[in-house]
Amino acid sequence: MAGDAQTGQGQKYLDHFLMQSKTMSADFVQTLRSDDNEVLQESKGHFYLSRPGRFRWNYDQPYEQQIVSDGENVWVYDVDLQQVTVQKQAASVKNTPMALMQGKLKLEQAYDVSELDHRNGVYRLKLSSKVDDVDFAELVVGVDKQGLRFMQLRDQFEQTTDIVFGDLELNKTLSDDLFEFTPPEGVDVFGGS
């Protein structure tokens, strides 16, 4: 547990990450667990973020999927199904952890923050939503001086999603092409205007 001298350090790291990091690139492992801690699914891939408003999740395992936001729309491309779903970004990420990461939501406006503990330089913080109508009322994030290390989200179905980031790179130049999406020829496209 953190001592008095360390009080607030985790939130300082989180604030620094949210305020100073313009881009992020990282490998990720995402694990979905049931309420009795049974692993329901594990996914792996690479994540890119460019503030404000643009992100890309490239899922490689267990199946290939791309989720891309150009700042206006969010495109979800399921490679196996040859299917793309598109929706306006404002509708899909309002008051979510993703909106916080993208810089579209201010930490203190959206969440009450409390520090839980720290281990090996990684500080765990609990973020409790200040509004009721959200998919994730509470999340736990892990941060260190390098940036965001993990997110743990619990949904209304009592399932927990853990996202652990590795090979983290901040403020590196990322190509604009990463955040553009054109549906491949022959795929079904759902949604949009």
What does the pLDDT read at residue 2?
Answer: 41
Give the CATH superfamily of 7-188: Lipoprotein localisation LolA/LolB/LppX (2.50.20.10)
What does the pLDDT read at residue 102?
Answer: 67
| pTM of this structure | 0.85
Neighbours of 187 (CB within 10 A): 13
- CA angle, corner 115, sides to 134 and 152, nearest 5? 45
Distances (CA, A) of 48 to 12, 82, 114, 163: 23, 23, 27, 14
Gap between the Cα atoms of 143 and 14, Å rounded: 6
Q: Can you name the residues that pair with 139 across neighbouring β-strands?
A: 127, 153
Burial 83-118 (b: 16+ CB within 10 A, else e): ebbbbebeebbebbbbbbbbbbbebeebbebebeeb
Residues of the chain with pLDDT under 70: 1-7, 91-96, 98-99, 102-105, 133-134, 192-193
Cβ neighbours for 78, distance < 8 A, ≥ 6 positions apart: 63, 65, 84
What does the pLDDT read at residue 106?
Answer: 74
What does the pLDDT read at residue 111?
Answer: 83
What phi and psi values does residue 47 have, to the nearest 5 degrees? -120, 140
Gap between the Cα atoms of 111 and 95, Å rounded: 10
Q: Can you name the residues that pair with 58 across neighbouring β-strands?
A: 46, 66
What does the pLDDT read at residue 117?
Answer: 94
Q: Domain limits of the chain?
A: 7-188
Gap between the Cα atoms of 163 and 56, Å rounded: 14
Q: How many residues does the chain have?
A: 193
Neighbours of 189 (CB within 10 A): 13
3-class SS of residue 95: coil
